[in-house]
Amino acid sequence: MTTWLRHPFNIGKLLIFGVLLLLTTAASAAAAEEPVLNIYTARHYQSDDEIYAAFTRETGIVINRIEDKEDALIERIRNEGENSPADIFITADAGRLWRAEDAGILRPVDSALLNDRVPVSLRDPQGYWFGFSMRARVIFYSKAEVEPGAVTSYEDLADPKWKGKVCVRSGSNVYNLSLLGSIIEESGEETAEKWAQGVASNLAREPQGGDTDQIKAVAAGECQLAIANTYYYVRLLKSDDAADRAVAEKVGVIFPNQADRGTHVNISGAGVAIHAPHPENAIRFLEFLASDEAQRDFAIGNNEYPVVDITFDNPELKSLGEFKKDPVNVGTYGENQAAAQAIYDRVGWK
């Protein structure tokens, strides 16, 4: 025994250190195995409750949830720093997921399952976020006023013959920012601005309301054409309210650009928070969202398209038919977001 160890005081210090090390290791292991997942979500759909419940049933992991608007959640995670309890960030639109990545609140995930199940175009190339449900941003037309085939592309909405006949929501809305971002990616900023100017010149009214309001405006004869996401329309088709179903009956659906690049699609998605205290549980949750069970819940519960090729029971959504999708990576919507907003501002698309 060395001279240092012969001293009783030093032996005591060594024993205390060993006990503390064991306690620290045990505490770390317990924390890692804690069956908890903290989700910060900007999605506000009741159908998500079933997805959360199914995950808990399968894994025993209890979900704690905080809901708010995406910008508020991003800022909250940033302000909480290393002490943030957030494990998962969820939101709708790839542009918002890109904002979260750009703000530095997400960490990359390398999952063979996710890379296999989620199409390349619907996830971040470095694994910061993954899309788990999809919606198409399409054109709705008045069956009473517009002949089928008269409009086949987003570009057609800028044709002067539709002056005073188009309804859209605000240019600051992230869905429209992403749409213009995809056009910038496809055709460049100059062409994108000409398109935005043409549509702005054809508006029947000042941009206002949400997607459902655009569809209802077409049905009411306030305009003849409108841009909105598919799941809003399917909600009207499936509504218990006869007035909603009557609105849906008066409008037709156009999947634009089937002869060239395909229809613009967007996602709801999620990523693992940068300081996630339960990273293994978080990855397990992302992988669950890509499962057949969760994918069917997205399709049936909220009328969104699954990102995985599966069968599902939603006759109203299926009634819209198959369509060609724009293959561009949805992450480019965020990259082009600032340019898209500047264009909308310049052309007066408020």
With CA atoms as reference, report the closest residue to 154 among 168, 164, 139, 140: 139
Residues in contact with 90: Cβ distance below 8 Å, sequence separation at least 6, in sequence order: 39, 40, 41, 42, 43, 268, 269, 270
State phi, psi for 128 to the nearest 5 degrees: -75, -30
In a domain, 229, yes or no: yes
pTM over the 0.85 mark: yes
Residues 238 and 154 in one domain: yes
Q: How many CB atoms lie within 10 A of CB 2?
A: 7
Determine the structural domain holding residue 76 and report its residue range.
Answer: 34-134+266-313
Mean of pLDDT over the chain: 92
Residues in contact with 2: Cβ distance below 8 Å, sequence separation at least 6, in sequence order: none
Residues in contact with 234: Cβ distance below 8 Å, sequence separation at least 6, in sequence order: 303, 314, 316, 317, 320
In a domain, 3, yes or no: no
Q: With 80 as the cut, is the pLDDT of residue 178 above it?
A: yes
Q: With 60 as the cut, is the pLDDT of residue 197 above it?
A: yes
pLDDT, tens digit, 9 for 90 and up, residues 38-70: 999 999 888 899 999 999 999 999 999 999 999
Q: Taking a C-beta distance cutoff of 8 angstroms, is the pair 141, 254 a contact?
A: yes
Residues 78 and 38 in one domain: yes
Residues 184 and 126 in one domain: no
Identify any residues that bridge with 227 across adjacent strands, giving them in sequence order: 139
In single-letter form, the type of residue at position 16 comes to I
Q: With 80 as the cut, is the pLDDT of residue 11 above it?
A: no
- Helices and strands (H, E) in the chain, number of each type: 16, 10
In a domain, 276, yes or no: yes
**Within its chain, how far is the Cα of 159 from the centroid?**
30
- Torsion 136-211-66-334 (CA) sign: positive
Residues 192 and 225 in one domain: yes
pLDDT, tens digit, 9 for 90 and up, residues 148-169: 999 999 999 999 999 999 999 9
With CA atoms as reference, report the closest residue to 177 among 101, 121, 94: 94
Residues 186 and 334 in one domain: yes
User: What one-character-per-residue DSSP string does 89-102 give?
Assistant: EEEESHHHHHHHHH
In a domain, 280, yes or no: yes
Residues 240 and 164 in one domain: yes
Residues 340 and 212 in one domain: yes
Identify any residues that bridge with 66 across adjacent strands, giving them in sequence order: 40
pLDDT, tens digit, 9 for 90 and up, residues 292-344: 999 999 999 999 999 999 999 999 999 999 999 999 999 999 999 999 999 99
Residue 72: what pLDDT?
Answer: 97
Residues in contact with 105: Cβ distance below 8 Å, sequence separation at least 6, in sequence order: 74, 77, 78, 86, 89, 273, 274
Residues in contact with 188: Cβ distance below 8 Å, sequence separation at least 6, in sequence order: none
Residue 28: what pLDDT?
Answer: 46
Angle at 148 between CA 200 and CA 223, to 5 degrees: 35
Whole-angstrom distance, CA of residue 300 vs CA of residue 321: 16
In single-letter form, the type of residue at position 315 comes to P
Residues 107 and 159 in one domain: no
Residues in contact with 192: Cβ distance below 8 Å, sequence separation at least 6, in sequence order: 180, 183, 184, 339, 340, 343
Q: With 80 as the cut, is the pLDDT of residue 225 above it?
A: yes
**Residue with the two structure tokens 């530095």:** 104
Residues 41 and 97 in one domain: yes
Q: Taking a C-beta distance cutoff of 8 angstroms, is the pair 349, 200 a contact?
A: yes
**Within its chain, how far is the Cα of 15 from the centroid?**
53
The number of distinct structural domains making up the chain is 2
Whole-angstrom distance, CA of residue 324 vs CA of residue 319: 15
Using a pLDDT cut of 90, give the percent of the chain over it: 89
Query: Could you tell me the pLDDT band of residue 23, with boundaries at 50, 70 and 90?
Result: very low
Residues 125 and 43 in one domain: yes
Q: Taking a C-beta distance cutoff of 8 angstroms, is the pair 88, 272 a contact?
A: yes
Identify any residues that bridge with 106 across adjacent strands, giving them in sequence order: 273
CATH at 236 = 3.40.190.10
Angle at 256 between CA 252 and CA 257, to 5 degrees: 155
Residues 258 and 151 in one domain: yes
Residues 306 and 163 in one domain: no
Whole-angstrom distance, CA of residue 291 vs CA of residue 24: 36
